Amino acid sequence: MKSRINWHELVPDAYRAQATLERYVRSSGLDPRLVELVKLRASQINQCAFCIDMHWKDLRAAGETEQRLYGLSAWRESPYYSDLERAALEWTESLTLLTDGFVPDDVYDRVHAHFGEEELVKLTMAIVTINGWNRLSVAFRTLAGQYQPGQYRT
């Protein structure tokens, strides 16, 4: 596969705007490993190879186990995730696959049982942000494989 456009160099203001959202998410007070897990799951759904590579590597560098990473795409059937993580992953899937039920009330109720309103907005911003990165990387075919853990900490 060949990259289409180096969008962040071509339009740096667009990159800076997206990076501002990323900085907000990183400073939001949410558990960084939970945020990375959510980012990896959204990236799997969106089939963003670059982001899967990035978040897998960042999670491993943070001490995440191979077992939990391998089981992530089947998290409902895997015993490795806490109730809070399951709620966040279900919320991630609902927001990433909007046309598949349009974020049903029962999903909202389950996630809201684990996250207060402010935390839920912050979690939602994390999901919105990764979906934006995924769409940019997929659209312009950002190449996977060269990322080093922590490389893009903003």
All structural domains of the chain: 12-139 (1.20.1290.10)
Distance (Å, rounded) from C-alpha 67 to C-alpha 64?
Answer: 9
- pLDDT tens-place string over residues 114-147: 999 999 999 999 999 999 999 999 999 999 998 9
State both tokens at 140: 């312009």
- pLDDT tens-place string over residues 60-109: 999 999 999 999 999 999 999 999 999 999 999 999 999 888 999 999 99
CA distances from 129 to 8, 14, 24 (A): 15, 13, 10
